[in-house]
Structure 1
Amino acid sequence: MHIIKKIVIALLVFLVIVGVVLWWLARPVPAEYSLEETTGTDPVLADPDPQLIPTVGIAEPIGWGEGELPAAAEGLEVNAFATDLDHPRVIYTMPNGDVLVTLTNAPDRPVAGGWLTNLVADYLFSSAGAGMESPNQLVLLRDGDGDGVAEERHVLRDDLDSPSGIAWNDGQLYIANHDAVLRFSYEEGATTVSGEGEKLADLPPAGNHWMRNIALNPDGTLLYVAVGSASNIGEAGLEIEQGRAAIHELNVENGFARLWGQGLRNPNGLAWNPWSGELWTTVNERDMLGSDLVPDYLTNVPLGVHYGWPWVYYGDVFDDRVKHPLPQFLTEYTRTPEYAMGAHVAALGLVFTQEGARMGPNFARGAFVARHGSWNRSPPAGYDVVFIAFDERGNPQGKPVPVLQSFLTEDGKTHGRPTWVAWDRTGALLVSDDTGNTIWRVVNPDAEASGAQVRNRGERLPPQLELRGDPARAFEDPPADLLMPGGM
């Protein structure tokens, strides 16, 4: 009996020790820097704090009560454009003002990283209000009388497969399922989309990041498709990452496709910068390096660019957790993001100021971004919509400015999660809220409509006829000492 008592006591002591160790490992590690310090054109990059057990901070979604609205910046007003939607994500405004929205969620799929990662992921998705089965619908919302509220609702398709991206041009509607790009014949104003749909391209399916946003170039001949990674840092091998963490270019006339940009862990919003003509995107960076790393970002995507995932981040910072062989000269050509959106904020939807926008002088030139909200940061961050001012040359500047304040409550819960942004036909900003099941409309009722955004065009640089000295100095001012005068 005496021996049994000792064994029981020893077992209890062991369990207490194990419990303390698990508590210590699983405790949230709070951020050392403010969210603002990890934003902008020169963000603070903290020392990495690799986490075997991640910091988890999930804001429980509670929805919106009767009469409750998001708090907007001074001068802006908010109303519900449409309510009682089933997990709305991507929104797209047709030329006639009809608003298309995909009601969607992740497909059934394993998450890269093994059974423990899947167990944690299931908990996170469920806690964040994303554990539901995908509705798989494309819905049309119509505000026929222009009062800012959609009075008509039509289900265009209900047989899609975790759809997200939407684009339209000249009678052709493009929809991105998680595993394919489809094209349908669709005339604007119609309340049905019939037919089988033509598959234009297969896409790497599901993965940790399943949304597939798309954007057409201005003349409607090229489609750009954002595909996120299947993992956090390639922990399940690079074979499953083929074609992922990238933006693809697809010629919709002949089907030719090529990689446009790579090393983008999870690119989401796609939009054309009206002042430079460049393609820009929002990107969700890697997790489990601490609450201050790594900032998500907003950046341009030139042809052939590489942003370093999974080996490096922010140009030249190595992630020592990645054991895959480093591509030759990677850091020599890895690009540094243009603008940090803040660590773990989950930057998703993106639009630029456009002609007709009615947001007022404080939001006259720049980008609007929906920050879906963090899970790997303490305290939580994001859960809001922000504006990033751009200068006359089309470059971001300053810090993010709140448009819709945080959807978080004082006790750490959340009314909803801003997901996507688009303009409506009146110049108001539409914001989808996937756990609040609402599309919000934001406008400055006293503002005049913005004028056309003018593309910057400067004089071309003189041709280089012969290099002398350091080629990197060829276009310094003045360049005369590096150029041969006269002709060839």
Structure 2
Amino acid sequence: MWPVSIASVAATLFITGITVGGFTIPSSCPDIPSSRYPFELAKGWAGVKVADGLHSPRGLVIDGEGRLLVVEEGLGISQHTVDTNGCIKSSRVLISMSALNHGIYLGKDDDTLYASSASAVFKWAYDPKSGNTTGSPVTIISGMSSEDHVSRTLIISPNHPNLLVVSRGSNSNLDYATVDPSTARSIVKVFDIMKVPNGGYDYVKDGWNAGYGLRNEVGLVFDGNNMLWGVENSADQLTREENGTSTDIHTDNPAEKLNFLGDIATPNNAWYGYPTCFAIWRPDPAIVDSTTMQEVGVGQQFVLAPNKTFNDTTCAKVARPPRLVFEAHTAPLDAKFDMPKYENMFVTMHGSWDRNPPVGYKLVAVPFTHASQGGYDPVAPANSNTGYVDIFYPPNEGNCSSSTCIRPVGLVFDAAGRLYMTSDTSGEVFMLGRSN
């Protein structure tokens, strides 16, 4: 795909707009200022800012009436009605609750709203016609306090509407205790929300695993076969220690991961490597497998300090590898498929703090394929570092920071196929669309 500058997109849209997938992406939305920071789009894509001045917008959902519900971290949940062009025409605070910080989801019939804080999951009765909640929040899961990663992503299985999936990250960069899944950190767990006990579930003791050894699996999404996938934020500031020598490898390693978690109706007790095994984004002369004497390749896993009992080859034997990798430190935070075809998984890249020059600050698409007798799978092989394409991105990625670039977080498609995307540090929401 060829990049198109936002200036040229705006020029094209100025008079009539671009018709994308059967709807029109307008050149601007009423009373909404232009984007705080410049961005570019892949060829065939159009984008417009639809909201400004939000308080750290993170996760978002759309109800059956087309209302946009956004978690504003430290504030609560805001609700926005949209016009026929997809622009926001009215807004209100639906739930004032400062503890809410990321996760949000609607039940099967839109009659229950779920949202999360760093330590708990709550539910409200929701009227899909009026858009109102009734009653006080009910705590359905607790026991998730954390010293570091605090996003608790929520998602419900399309074919098992009673099963709520909740992710919980590590307590630190290298949380070694989480090699034991009973810590219930660096893990994704499943809970039957039709059988919530009095007082709610205890995250540590209850539910079942959908995979562990997942450092911070913020983005979760189901494919067309109702199989769960996750995108993982991997570690920072790593060194490789071998034969008494420590080498800084953090600029290009480890890779962020795309993991296949599978059918959540069945416990998945597979270990995905963290906090011991990490994936390669860019092969490095400092990371040589002592068994094969070859550099560890893209997508393969490695250890920080190999020894006689546990080395890179051990990782290949005992840890489930990622299905695809993303560039180190890009920080993937959400993932959505373009239903009903499931031809692409869209992933927001929040952007790096642990790399010079910076990377991320964009939306990418991972092309997928569907085998006639099988499941969904990325088109690119697992050892590829070109398995995705930029869709929405800054004009100069290497100069980005939280105060100079958009930082994508949450994604949701509306019924018309328009893709909404939040940017937390800039307080904005964007609407994107493409031609077929």
TM-score tier, shorter chain, comes to 0.7 to 0.9
Larger relative contact order (CA 8 Å, sep ≥ 6) = 1
Report the residue type matching 1:391 in the other structure. T
TM-aligned CA deviation for residue 281 of structure 1: 0.7
| 1:167 matches 2:105 | yes
TM-aligned CA deviation for residue 203 of structure 1: 3.5
| 1:196 matches 2:171 | no
Paired-residue identity, %? 24
* Aligned-pair Cα RMSD in Å: 2.7
CA distance in 1, matches of 2:104, 2:34: 30
| 1:142 matches 2:45 | no
| 1:397 matches 2:379 | yes
Report the residue type matching 2:390 in the other structure. P
CA distance in 2, matches of 1:97, 1:208: 35
Contact 1:185-1:193 within 8 A present in 2 as well: yes
TM-aligned CA deviation for residue 236 of structure 1: 8.2
Report the residue type matching 2:389 in the other structure. V
CA distance in 1, matches of 2:52, 2:332: 23
- Counting only pairs closer than 5 Å after superposition, residues 318-397 of structure 1 correspond to structure 2 as 318-320=303-305, 332-355=317-340, 365-393=343-371, 394-397=376-379
- What do the CA deviations read for 1:243-275 (whole angstroms, capped 9, x no partner)? 11000100001136122210000001111011x
The partner residue of 2:273 within 300, 304, 308 is: 308
CA distance in 2, matches of 1:436, 1:194: 31
CA distance in 1, matches of 2:417, 2:220: 19
**Structure 1 residues 148 and 350, CA gap change in structure 2 (3 angstroms):** same
Partner of 2:169: 228
| 1:291 matches 2:281 | no
Contact 1:408-1:415 within 8 A present in 2 as well: no
The partner residue of 1:77 within 23, 41, 46 is: 46
Partner of 1:246: 187
CA distance in 2, matches of 1:70, 1:166: 27
Contact 2:100-2:115 within 8 A present in 1 as well: no
Report the residue type matching 2:188 in the other structure. I
| 1:157 matches 2:95 | yes
TM-aligned CA deviation for residue 189 of structure 1: 3.8
Contact 1:308-1:331 within 8 A present in 2 as well: no
Which secondary structure state, in structure 1, belongs to the residue aligned with residue 43 of structure 2? coil
Which secondary structure state, in structure 2, belongs to the residue aligned with residue 311 of structure 1? coil
- What do the CA deviations read for 1:403-427 (whole angstroms, capped 9, x no partner)? 1022656754523211121112321
Q: Which runs of 5+ in 2 are unaligned?
A: 1-32, 197-205, 239-249, 263-267, 280-299, 381-386
Report the residue type matching 2:166 in the other structure. V
Q: Which runs of 5+ in 1 are unaligned?
A: 1-63, 105-133, 358-363, 448-488
CA distance in 1, matches of 2:165, 2:121: 11
How many residues are paired up? Answer: 340
Contact 2:209-2:269 within 8 A present in 1 as well: yes
TM-score normalised over the length of structure 1: 0.65
Which secondary structure state, in structure 1, belongs to the residue aligned with residue 101 of structure 2? coil
Partner of 2:212: 262
- What do the CA deviations read for 1:159-182 (whole angstroms, capped 9, x no partner)? 241331111123111111111111
TM-aligned CA deviation for residue 158 of structure 1: 0.9
Contact 1:154-1:191 within 8 A present in 2 as well: no
**Structure 1 residues 435 and 221, CA gap change in structure 2 (3 angstroms):** same
- What do the CA deviations read for 1:82-116 (whole angstroms, capped 9, x no partner)? 12111101111222211111001xxxxxxxxxxxx
TM-score normalised over the length of structure 2: 0.72
Contact 2:61-2:412 within 8 A present in 1 as well: yes
Partner of 1:440: 430
- What do the CA deviations read for 1:127-177 (whole angstroms, capped 9, x no partner)? xxxxxxx23x1011110x211211111211112413311111231111111
Which secondary structure state, in structure 2, belongs to the residue aligned with residue 277 of structure 1? coil
Partner of 2:151: 211
**Structure 1 residues 312 and 149, CA gap change in structure 2 (3 angstroms):** same
